[in-house]
Amino acid sequence: MSPAMGLVSHTESEREDGHEQSKYQRGVKHLCESGITRVPSKYVLPAQERPNIKKEISERNMSNGRRSISLPIIDFAELQGSNRSKALKKLSNACEEFGFFQVVNHGISIEIIRHMMDVSRRFFELPFEERSKYMTSDMRSPARYGTSFNQNKDGVFCWRDFLKLICPPSSNALSLWPTSPSNLRQAVVSYSTETRFLFTMLMEAVLECLGLIETSENNYSDEEEFTLKDFGDGSQLMVINCYPACPEPELTLGMPPHSDYGFLTLLLQDEVEGLQIQNRGKWVTVEPIPHSFVVNVGDHLEIFSNGKYKSVLHRVLVNSTKSRISVASLHSMSFEQVIRPSPKLIDEHNPRRYMDTDFTSFLNYASTCEPKRKNFLESRKLAV
């Protein structure tokens, strides 16, 4: 073969590779719409990383039940009433032992929740040409449609498409959000306002659990640098997830094992199971409670609590019969704010365990590494 022929062959191969990569970067929904019946190799996990669905089904059948977990249930109304001290104790135990809990009686109307889920579904039902207007590799974009976890770095893609929206007041980019469906902006603003308030009230309770607020008067210690206003004015990232029905769910995951970067994540799920958390070394399924929120401790809260509260690994399964929609509201301080262990939680018996961090550090890490497990948090740990 002549050098020229070899060069042509190589160029054609590169074009084919680029075409395949471009095809996958259009998203799982686009693949499903093309009529695939097998999971493409780009989405097939190594054997040791695949969900062992057959084993789980066998174990469920043998135990005449489901291999699932009942998370601690926090009644938000009790947190605001005369049973607050009891509810606070339950909340603290949940953050220490599970890193997850479910919130009921949260005060957010069913109408707002239904509208949010409705516009989420309808966005992913839009023609690909409409969804693709918001595709970008810029992780700082106020509106970003994408696929997998990090489509620029993932060696194996996960079975998920997403729409990420940076919410006011940490962003003035409302005008850059999608205009379709026509009521998406209104629904997300209403929902984000309500979840921001719920997050602020939950953080007040968490700070009280940590002993950083005087229980009697809810006053801050002079040593503290954050106030409830700081949390209320902090960052909020809305992540709308779509996990289409998958022809071979045993070969892939909707999301790989990971932890969330912020203080708390408030997750709204539809009725389809999929979320799993790691508990005592096993993967267990979280059963959805209608109109409730699954709340989990994020990396920033683990750092701020100096390790007392742990962010926990979680992942998402997919199934062969139903698509699944979830809406995750990730909350932290402002993007510029430095996060560090609370001075009040550091002493000679419990030395400082984490270095300072901020959102920019997380973005820089996420944009250069394939995000797996709790790698970013591990990079923030100090040797003690």
pLDDT in tens, 180-234: 999 999 999 999 999 999 999 999 999 999 999 865 455 555 445 678 888 888 9
Q: What is the pLDDT of residue 151?
A: 79
How distant is the alpha carbon of residue 295 from its chain centre? 10
Give, as one character, the DSSP assignment of residue 357: B
**Average pLDDT, whole number, for the chain?**
86
**Cα angle, residue 320 at apex, residues 165 and 316 outer, rounded to 5°:** 45
Euclidean distance between CA atoms 264 and 105, whole angstroms: 18
Residue ranges, the chain, pLDDT below 50: 1-19, 58, 61-64, 216, 222-223
Euclidean distance between CA atoms 74 and 167, whole angstroms: 26
Q: Domain map of the chain by residue range? A: 22-334
Dump pLDDT digits (tens) for 299-331: 999 999 999 999 999 999 999 999 999 999 999
Instruction: For strands 282-286 and 68-69, give the pairing.
Output: parallel
Q: What is the pLDDT of residue 52?
A: 80
Name the residue among 106, 107, 103, 105 with its Cα closest to residue 90: 103
Euclidean distance between CA atoms 225 and 257, whole angstroms: 32
Q: What is the pLDDT of residue 214?
A: 65
Q: Which CATH superfamily is domain 22-334 in?
A: B-lactam Antibiotic, Isopenicillin N Synthase; Chain (2.60.120.330)
Q: What is the pLDDT of residue 330?
A: 96
Q: What distance, in Å, lies between the first and last C-alpha atoms of the chain?
A: 61
Q: What is the pLDDT of residue 107?
A: 95
Is residue 192 a contact partner of residue 331, using CB atoms and an 8 Å limit? no
Q: What is the pLDDT of residue 60?
A: 52
Is residue 142 a contact partner of residue 176, using CB atoms and an 8 Å limit? yes
Q: What is the pLDDT of residue 58?
A: 45
Q: Tokens representing 46?
A: 């190594």
**What's the helix, strand, coil split of the chain in %, to 5?**
40, 20, 45
Q: How long, in residues, is the chain? A: 384
How distant is the alpha carbon of residue 93 from its chain centre? 22
Name the residue among 19, 3, 31, 25 with its Cα closest to residue 247: 31
Euclidean distance between CA atoms 291 and 294, whole angstroms: 10
